[in-house]
Structure 1
Amino acid sequence: MCGIVGYTGPRQACGVLLGGLTRLEYRGYDSAGVAVVSDGEMALVRRVGKLENLKAAVAGDPVVGTAGIGHTRWATHGAPTEDNAHPHRDCSGRLAIVHNGIIENFAELRTELAAAGHAIRSETDTEVVAHLIEALYEGDLVAAVQKATARLHGSYAIAAVHLDHPDLLVAARKDSPLIIGLGDGENIVASDIPAVLEHTRRVAVLHDGQVAVVTPERVTVHDASGAEVEPEVMVVEWDLDAAEKGGYEDFMLKEIFEQPKALRETLRGRVGEDGRIQMSELQMSDEELAAIERVFIVACGTSYHAGLVAKLLIEQWARVPVEVDVSSEFRYRDPIVDRNTLVVAITQSGETADTLAGVREARERGARVFAVTNVVGSRVTREADGVIYTHAGPEIGVAATKTFTAQIAALSVLALRLAQARATLEPEQVASLWAELATVPDVVEAILADAQDIEACAREYTQAVSSLFLGRGMGVPVAMEGALKLKEISYIHAEAYPAGEMKHGPIALITPDVPVVVVATQGHTYEKVVSNIQEVRARGARVIAVATYGDEAIRSYAEHVLWIPQVSEALSAIPAAVPLQLLAYHIAKLRGCNVDQPRNLAKSVTVE
């Protein structure tokens, strides 16, 4: 949620800020602004709505200066108005800050600062921080920020500039991501890597409680006690081209078509010369893995659906019970977790607030915790006992596509590793399953090469106001993910149910105006799914089926069939999900929706 960019160096800051904010648009926002140290004044420009509105404003009245901060805001405290947009200034107008996160004690601080004579103009928690820094400022901006952050409760990533220090940026973080792009004679503070890639691939990652002092020539980092520490520096493996559309109309479509590559990269190197599954990052012996009595998977949104797939695979292959919890429920329900429990936290960004809280809860109870994430250096990589990376590359579209299928691939390897360690599958069975899993990228490639009928199908359903998604077994999480994709990018209401549950309520919704999408791939419950299709057709529903090539019988039960190649039932989730991604994409495009930036949504949910 929200985006931060700060620049100090020889170039005009405004252009760098706007370029960086453009590459952070995927994070979700409803207003934007910049503050630039300009000829002894703090030039501030803010606009409601898309970044184009801000760009038009500064084009008409250029902002000149070589240091500044910019922000795209996703409203939490206060409506999306110009007064509530970031950056925010103090009473003097000499200090400006931007902030991601939520300050939980802002009301208390607001009352205190107002009583001391500060004029707070907005409804935001962020402006309170600006006035708190002002109250503590005695000529040293770094000291004032350190003192102010010590009083904040909640989460924050902050960047500040001050007229008394025209080349200086001060940045601080707690529970909200913040990085620094290390350039040559210039440095860039940002909330995510794409904002800096045009200028550098060397990145310093701030950790919780740290404060960074950033000038054009130098970056120093201090811990919560004020002691200087060596920053964690990494070189980003992907370049700016990976974060651009590359000839595709939308990031979402590009990322759907990148799935074969993402899957291959995620699976690469997972089998050793001895034929055994390699997952050294677990740092657990076969004996330790065999001692696991229970697995918990905690995740949100699309990652939760990947967790449901993993549950089926782990229970089937490794014969250990698995519970899958929505992260926000896990942290509050007093789960039964101990040292014989393995907790798997799935988070694309590695910064999901509720999932991180679940990680902490599990570790406090003695469980071993592993994270599945796509972002090197993210917070979860430091809080978990081990990390399983999905190598999907940057995902800019808000609706997860390639990271979902890459998560399933990584979790499939984990399930095989557990089965191998627990000897619940014979070596020949593990080898056979791995051999088929390794072909899944080719299967997805074949689906994408023969997907032209999906847009024609989509044209018939653009006016729907509600839809129902059904499946059994592995088809249930696929149906849930398909429904989520449709609702979040096309704004058509969609519900997903196990097909056997349909008669227990959802069948009351069936009319000819409610399309029913059914995952009907070959498997041991196929005949049951066909019976469910006949039940909805008897009530006038139009059916879209995801089915296996060669299943001619399904044609008589469905108005439209989205075909996938034959794969084993256990490995069907990834191929079956791809046509539903494309169906949602084409329906949304035909309805005129912005598929990359759906309304009200953010790519990375870093607040509770």
Structure 2
Amino acid sequence: MCGIVGYTGEQRAAEILVSGLKRLEYRGYDSAGVALETADDQGTCALDIVKRVGKVAGLESELAGKDSDATCGIGHTRWATHGRPTRENAHPHVSCSGRVAVVHNGIIENYADLRSRLIQSGHVFVSETDTEVLAHLIEEALDTSAEAGTTCDLMEALRIACGQIAGAYGIAVVSADEPGVIAVARKDSPIVIGRGTQGSYVASDVIALIDATRDVVVLEDGQFARLTPTEITYTNAAGEALEPVVTHIDWDIDLAEKGGYPDFMMKEIYEQPRVVRDTLVGRLSGAGEIDIDELGLSFEELNLVDRVYIIACGTSLHAGLIAKNNIESWARIPCEVEAASEFRYRDAIITPSTLVVAVSQSGETADTLAAIRDARIKGAKVFGITNVVGSPVARESDGVIYTKANKEIAVASTKSFIGQVVSLTLLAMLLGQVKGRLTPGQTRMLFRDLGDTAGYIQKVLDTQSAAIAEAAAACAHASSALFVGRGMGAAVSFEGALKLKEVSYLHAEAYAAGEMKHGPIALIEPGFPVIAVATKSAVYDKLVSNLKECEARGAKIIAVATEGDEEIGRIADHVIFVPKTCEAFMPIVATVPLQLLAREVALMRGCDVDQPRNLAKSVTVE
């Protein structure tokens, strides 16, 4: 979601802030801004606030004209929650005096009450945002202290402000009255801090700090930090000193570059064979058992599991739909898949023998975090599937599988989805073993077949470009599209429709193909695109019958089919072939051409595939 960058040190802050904000563009945003500490002719410190609606490049151009020598500042990219994308609503937000500036990620749930009280006290607001109350609360704490003749520095004022707010926040604050100091706080919104040779840094994502340092501190909920050019100190809400845990980042910055591909989405689609291989490395023991080092749950605890809930949002939810089939087939345990945003608000049946599997690419999705916290209170065991080591989902789960996808930059998830499906498949196999439903021999065979999907994905990437381009041309000028499938193919269809919507802005819906005649078939008219996941399966003949119903009404049919299938060509206008694999692993292979199809349609429609409008990479608000 929103992005935070801060720096205090010896170098020109504006350049460092802009560089960091560019690294955070992948998260999605609609405006950007910075607060820089400057000095007037008498040497008095003041804050220079520069904000722009639109891309960071516009902000960069405006800052270039200022030639600022400031060595301390904070920056932000905003994804609108409270208030429209305007300059007034862009961060940083300042106090009435203009002496305090704040950047903030998250949502302040009680901001309306706080705003009303502050206005009654004489504070003047200029934005529609919830964040602005922070600047005024901090100013109020500083003014109250000054009037009382007591000592209150910026850190203490931030602690007082945080004590009055409810909700989620990652906050960085500067004050013209304390030059060179950045005060930081975190609750339910990621904050990363690091020391480099030329100063101190803060950001909402380690990717913004990677050029400066590889050793970072991931701030925990309820913790605060004070950054100066020469040191960083950490405290809790009571102001007591803390000794932070330092994490070393060992991935290379090249992973965040395009590597010769025209866009990050293409690059990450082509990285999927590696993701499959890396996620499987070391996961099978010599005895033919699934081996998950981070399991955190004993086999005895897993054997007691009698119900599984998979909770997730968006793309991750579709990974859960695929896993449901495998868990119920291999472990014979009832499995339900639910949107985390809904799960947390209903009275689900949860007992100590319930396993809740939380799936989140970023590991910081607000709805998913809230849902797993509620599940833990009710006594469930919680297992996390995430791409980010040390993320909140990982820390708050009893066990975890990391997807090994490395940093994913494009907003629309591709390689993380494949990593999630592979990881959930491993969990399904493990549950099957623990329940005595899968023998070591069966597990070895399944594991081998699962590993083969890496090569199958590569074959699709190498051979199907022309077929995908032709199919995309048939969709590019449509106003809507329908995705259909049966069995595992239905789950793949849901993900295919989501990808097309996300990156091309073409309306698309997905249905289990058997449901078409119960309403959706009314949409079919000559030329209407129907995209079918028509790989060979136990329900293949049923799907073909459904497609014939579409053909009879003039639909333009695009089929993802198994190599060697000659029958499908007599129905479909365009066929994209994928290698044959067992039905349980078909979604891993069949999803890839739909990702490529969505990208190709988006490009034909002139869309930015890496940063789709209105979307954010990491959704840290409800």
**Which residue in the other structure is 1:401 paired with?**
414
**Which residue in the other structure is 1:44 paired with?**
49
8 Å CA contact 1:286–1:422 kept in 2: the answer is no
Q: Could you list the per-position Cα deviations for residues 263-316 of structure 1 after superposition, in whole angstroms to 9, with x for gaps in the alignment?
A: 111111001122211023223333322221101100000000000111001001
Q: Give the partner amino acid of 2:108.
A: I
For 2:257 and 2:194, how far apart are their aligned partners in 1?
18
Matched, 1:94 2:107: no
For 1:601 and 1:555, how far apart are their aligned partners in 2?
37
1:451 shift after superposition: 2.6
SS at match of 1:572: helix
SS at match of 1:203: strand
For 2:303 and 2:86, how far apart are their aligned partners in 1?
56
Unaligned runs of at least 5 residues, structure 1 = none
For 1:84 and 1:280, how far apart are their aligned partners in 2?
46
**Which residue in the other structure is 2:477 paired with?**
463
For 1:284 and 1:459, how far apart are their aligned partners in 2?
49
**Which residue in the other structure is 2:110 paired with?**
105
Matched, 1:12 2:12: yes
1:429 shift after superposition: 1.5
Q: Give the partner amino acid of 1:548.
A: T
Moved more, 410-419 or 108-117: 108-117
Query: What's the TM-score once normalised by structure 2's chain length?
Result: 0.96
1:510 shift after superposition: 0.7
**Which residue in the other structure is 2:42 paired with?**
none
1:92 shift after superposition: 1.4
For 1:434 and 1:408, how far apart are their aligned partners in 2?
13
For 2:141 and 2:77, how far apart are their aligned partners in 1?
27
Q: Give the partner amino acid of 1:132.
A: L
Q: Give the partner amino acid of 2:450.
A: L
1:154 shift after superposition: 0.7
For 1:274 and 1:537, how far apart are their aligned partners in 2?
51
**Which residue in the other structure is 1:576 paired with?**
590
Q: Give the partner amino acid of 2:427.
A: L
Matched, 1:78 2:83: yes
8 Å CA contact 2:529–2:558 kept in 1: the answer is yes
**Which residue in the other structure is 1:276 paired with?**
289
Moved more, 137-146 or 345-354: 137-146
**Which residue in the other structure is 2:33 paired with?**
33
Q: Give the partner amino acid of 2:12.
A: Q
1:455 shift after superposition: 1.7
Matched, 1:374 2:387: yes
Count of residue correspondences: 608
SS at match of 1:496: strand
Q: Residue 172 of structure 2 is aligned with which of 138, 156, 159?
A: 159
SS at match of 1:231: coil
1:237 shift after superposition: 2.1
In the superposition, relative to structure 1, how do residues 495 and 108 fare at CA in structure 2: closer, same or farther (>3 Å)?
A: same
Q: CA RMSD in A?
A: 1.1
Q: Residue 488 of structure 1 is aligned with which of 481, 502, 515?
A: 502
1:60 shift after superposition: 2.2
SS at match of 1:15: helix
**Which residue in the other structure is 1:64 paired with?**
69
8 Å CA contact 1:182–1:204 kept in 2: the answer is no
8 Å CA contact 2:33–2:92 kept in 1: the answer is yes
Q: Could you list the per-position Cα deviations for residues 314-340 of structure 1 after superposition, in whole angstroms to 9, with x for gaps in the alignment?
A: 001111110111001100111001101
8 Å CA contact 1:309–1:477 kept in 2: the answer is yes
For 1:147 and 1:570, how far apart are their aligned partners in 2?
54
1:512 shift after superposition: 2.1
Q: Could you list the per-position Cα deviations for residues 151-201 of structure 1 after superposition, in whole angstroms to 9, with x for gaps in the alignment?
A: 111111110011122111111011111111331241211111111112222
Matches within 5 A, 1:94-493: 94-137=99-142, 138=145, 139-453=152-466, 454-493=468-507
SS at match of 2:250: coil
Q: Give the partner amino acid of 1:32.
A: A
Identity of aligned residues (%): 56
SS at match of 1:167: coil
SS at match of 2:167: coil
8 Å CA contact 2:296–2:400 kept in 1: the answer is no
For 1:561 and 1:201, how far apart are their aligned partners in 2?
47
SS at match of 1:303: helix
8 Å CA contact 2:106–2:620 kept in 1: the answer is yes
Q: Could you list the per-position Cα deviations for residues 116-168 of structure 1 after superposition, in whole angstroms to 9, with x for gaps in the alignment?
A: 11111111111111010000014500000011001111111110011122111
8 Å CA contact 2:234–2:242 kept in 1: the answer is yes
Q: Give the partner amino acid of 1:23.
A: R
8 Å CA contact 2:288–2:441 kept in 1: the answer is no
Q: Residue 518 of structure 1 is aligned with which of 532, 536, 541?
A: 532
1:457 shift after superposition: 2.2
Query: What's the TM-score once normalised by structure 1's chain length?
Result: 0.99
**Which residue in the other structure is 1:505 paired with?**
519
In the superposition, relative to structure 1, how do residues 283 and 156 fare at CA in structure 2: closer, same or farther (>3 Å)?
A: closer
For 2:191 and 2:456, how far apart are their aligned partners in 1?
38
For 1:245 and 1:3, how far apart are their aligned partners in 2?
21
8 Å CA contact 2:137–2:161 kept in 1: the answer is yes
For 1:356 and 1:507, how far apart are their aligned partners in 2?
38
8 Å CA contact 2:475–2:481 kept in 1: the answer is no
Q: Could you list the per-position Cα deviations for residues 25-84 of structure 1 after superposition, in whole angstroms to 9, with x for gaps in the alignment?
A: 111111110110011221111011111221121122233300000001111111111111
**Which residue in the other structure is 2:149 paired with?**
none
Q: Could you list the per-position Cα deviations for residues 452-491 of structure 1 after superposition, in whole angstroms to 9, with x for gaps in the alignment?
A: 2112321232101100000011101100000000001100
8 Å CA contact 2:31–2:52 kept in 1: the answer is yes
Q: Give the partner amino acid of 1:240.
A: I
For 2:598 and 2:68, how far apart are their aligned partners in 1?
41
SS at match of 2:410: coil
